[in-house]
Amino acid sequence: MSRCVIFDLDGTLIDTPHGIVTTFAAVFDRLELPAVDYGTIRGTIGLPLPTAFAKVLGVAADEPVVATCVELYRSTFRATVLPKAPRLVFPGVADGLDALRQAGFLLAVATSKFSANAEALLDAAGLRDAFSVVVGADQVSKPKPDPEAGFLVLNALGVSPANAVMVGDTTHDVLMAHEAGMSSIGVTYGVHSTEQLLSANPTWLVDSFAGVVAAAEECC
């Protein structure tokens, strides 16, 4: 019987939320767009980039300014955040991933990042080899909380929803797990607050990566 743990990326494996917000701010500054407060930008983390920029700017996602922002964001993020990636891995993640693999779990990532950007971040952080599958926002027609990304992972690995668990720091991750018929582990050290995560009714709520490992082993 195959078992798998599916992880979100930003705010779950790697502490990138601050870098994401500062990259957004740098884009607005470079394009001479009105400044947006930290909390508003942070609140969009977990959404695909075009959706996030459209929401912050108050425009449709197909507006040309959104595509311009996304392109500049990607180049800026690569230049300023990727070099820091090894230092941004959350405590316990590397050892925890090893422990899960030794326990027989297949590991995957389902993220709102485009797949190339997710692969680049995982490579820079030294984590890519831990994962059998990485699914990005450009590989699905509907982003989280739609279950499409989860089903893609399960189909690729040959795992049933009953033998899988989704780990994430936002309600998008928990709700995707519900829709896919998987268990879920919400982590409180990322973007969404404990109260926000509880509103989505995760199977487990933990405050460390050691807690993630313990919950996963209990789950499947």
Catalytic positions, written as ranges = 8, 10
**In degrees, to the nearest 5, what angle opens at C-alpha 190 toward C-alphas 160 and 219?**
30
Residue 135, strand partner residues: 110
Backbone angles phi, psi at 35, to 5 degrees: -65, 145
Buried b vs exposed e over 68-80: b needs ≥16 C-beta within 10 Å? ebbebbbebbeee
- Give yes or no for a contact between 23 and 80, defined as CB atoms under 8 angstroms apart: yes
Q: For residue 128, give the DSSP letter.
A: G
Alpha-carbon span 57 to 109, nearest angstrom: 29
Neighbours of 220 (CB within 10 A): 20
Where do the DSSP E strands lie in 49-110?
Answer: 105-110
**Closest alpha carbon to 10 in 81, 98, 105, 92:** 81
> For residues 79 and 37, what is the distance between their CA atoms, to the nearest angstrom?
23
